[in-house]
Structure 1
Amino acid sequence: MDEAFESWLLARGFSKISSIVEYTKQLEDEIEQESDLLFYSLAEGLMKDTEFAEAYELCLTGTANKNIPQPIEQVMASIASELGDEWRRNCYSFFVDNKLVGISIPHIEMGTQSEGRMFYFGVVPDMRGQGLGTKLHKLTLEIMKKMQANYYVGSTDESNKHTISIFTKNGCTLRVKKGIYRIEK
């Protein structure tokens, strides 16, 4: 919710959980980059659904996002539900020297024809701090462009400085900041 309504929400019993920032980028200028990262979609059959789910959970370990984590079975069901029957084509794993670096799940936002989003992207903890998140994100922007996305919208918790840095390094600009609120029962 737009933070302009924060006082109204707080006065009515809502509590603020955090704030998210949303970044955007036009994709027409993207050019393919040389990368030492290899990537595969889950649809290629080189990884099982359960292995991808484990990689997803591993990437979540130690992140700065403050949203309440869901059980991985629920996350995987959400991916399948939101992305449709061909959801495995959108689930990518990235490797360097046969070692898992991270995952991303690019897609065209439902109800649009050209808005690229990432259901999630992340780097495994022991590969962080090497610039691989920026490379993974950049390659995922290229994948989105091939999916016919004209622009990208990405969001993260305002405290996730690493992801914000990745967004800005890859040419994304701040679009909006929104509060996350919850009412206690």
Structure 2
Amino acid sequence: MPKSFLFAVVFGAGLTITAAAQAHCDAIGGPVATAALQALDTNNVNAVLPYVPATAEPELTAAFSQAMTVRASGSDAKGLADRYFMETAVRLHRAGEGAPYTGLRPAGTDFGPAIPAAEQALATGKVEPLLEFLAREIEHGVRERFAHASGDRPKEPMDAADVPVAREHVRQELGFIGYVEGVYLAVQGSGHAEGATASKDCGH
């Protein structure tokens, strides 16, 4: 089995998972923007500082002071100040992850079922529904890919006409193995944010 191909499958799956989590942090309703608004509403910048690296605290604190001053100028100014501070907080958070900032995603953006399930577990203090959800999803994923990969093995290609069928079977087999390995690597991953510079990290 070409290890480079398997690595590409697993690495690609990891990028998909990481990208979804990071995108969650870019949303107006995500944890970083929510903490930013909470900081403004309570006049307490400490509510959002845990989401950025320590080195970014001076910049975020200065932006907080500016936003609080502008907020006092009226409702229109308040909206602009809130947006500015949310964007600053998210940008600094993403920089702490070593990721680019591409703007705030709108509230209500659908990031799939996994992130809401994880948030619900944290909100309720109950992990069992999340475990059941993940178990169902993993079982479905394994069974679906296994069904495609475990069919009758085509004969060894003897001429060019036999190659396309054999190639598709190889693709299904390696896809199945890569999926299983990707799940295993995710399970074996550290429970703490790897390489994160902030104590709360959305991307890992």
Greater CA radius of gyration, 1 or 2? Answer: 2
Greater RCO, CA 8 A, separation 6+: 1
Q: Which has the higher helix share?
A: 2
State the TM-score, normalized to the length of structure 1: 0.24
State the TM-score, normalized to the length of structure 2: 0.23
